[in-house]
Structure 1
Amino acid sequence: MHFVLKAQTLTVHIARPVAEVYDFLSDPANLGRWTFARNGRHEPRAGLLVWSFDGPEGRRVELHFTRPNPFFVLDYKLAQNGEISHAGYARLIPAGDGTVLTHTAVQQPGASDAQFDSEAEWVMADLMVLKTLMEAK
């Protein structure tokens, strides 16, 4: 028997060049400008970047994501107490003078459908903040 987790892909079109969007997103210092990860700090670790911040209820959260790369790949995982609570897989695709950002999330074991749907809503809200911020440049 195979167990396949639920996944959902969100797509946002950003009217900025892909290299510019990628440079902004691949710098963890920018997270607080468009996500809930405010007042955090980043710490380089073995092949990954780790951004630590205070999450809900004051719990420490770590955001692990890939190093900058030539493929416009921005994968990440959120962890609390060493447990992965959210995983996301983002790709930037050149589209003329703009960028198509796709974000795929995979429902984690133990997460309810309602939790997964709620996470998709806050990710889309963050992506819309990102779009507005990038297009205002």
Structure 2
Amino acid sequence: MDTHGTGAPTTRHISTHIDRPAADVYAFASNPANLPRWAHGLGTTIEHVDGRWIADSAGPGRVVVAFAPRNEFGVLDHDVTLPTGETVHNPMRVLPDAAGCEVVFTLRRRPGTTEEDFRHDAAAVRTDLTTLKELMERP
């Protein structure tokens, strides 16, 4: 396991089970316009400008969000381009599980990120996935 020389893992898989068909969860989560409803860690607003989705992120400021093309495999990978021009790739999947699904986000620790900041990032992802679950399981 690569640890960036810190002894701490550089990747965490964070998941939640949602009692809703995978196709429904994928359709909702893959629509960038829905991000402010469940992915507060990414931003509380998003707009479509000149063919790009731009979110107002609390941390780094305005970021560009680009999802993988729609697909039948539940791949929700998305790139977030920071104001610095750095692009962070975020692997994410919606996996069918009986009548429901599991949503898995792979959090990768970027070089220079402290263990405390990495824990904070993981907590933010957990919160976002919990919000997605709550939204999708509402009657």
What range describes the TM-score normalised by the shorter chain of this pair?
Answer: 0.7 to 0.9
Quick check: 1:26–1:67 contact (8 Å CA) kept in 2?
no
1:67 deviates by 1.6
1:15 pairs with 2:25 = no
Relative distance call for 1:57 and 1:11 in structure 2 (3 A) is closer
Matched, 1:41 2:43: no
What are the superposed Cα offsets for residues 6-62 of structure 1, whole Å, 9 maximum, x if unpaired?
0000120000001000000111111011122222113576xxxx4212222672112
List runs of 5+ in structure 2 lacking aligned partners. Answer: 5-9
Query: Could you tell me how far 1:128 is from its partner in structure 2?
Result: 0.3
- Corresponding residue for residue 32 of structure 1: 36
Structure 2 letter corresponding to 1:76: H
SS of residue in 2 equivalent to 1:117: helix
Task: Report the residue type matching 1:23 in the other structure.
Answer: A
d(CA) in 1 for partners of 2:101, 2:124: 21
Alignment-mate amino acid for residue 78 of structure 1 = V
TM-score normalised over the length of structure 1? 0.84
Partner of 2:53: 51
RMSD of aligned alpha carbons: 2.2
Amino acid at match of 2:58: P
1:72-123, CA deviations, whole angstroms, 9 ceiling, x for partnerless residues?
0011232212113x43211111111100111111111222221111100001
Q: Provide structure 1 residue ranges, at least 5 long, that are not aligned to the other structure.
A: none
Q: Structure 1 residue aligned with 2:68, among 66, 69, 74?
A: 66
Equivalent residue number for residue 113 of structure 2: 111
With normalisation by structure 2, the TM-score equals 0.83
Figure out how many residues of one structure are paired with residues of the other and give that number.
131
Cα distance between partner residues in 2 of 1:58 and 1:22: 27
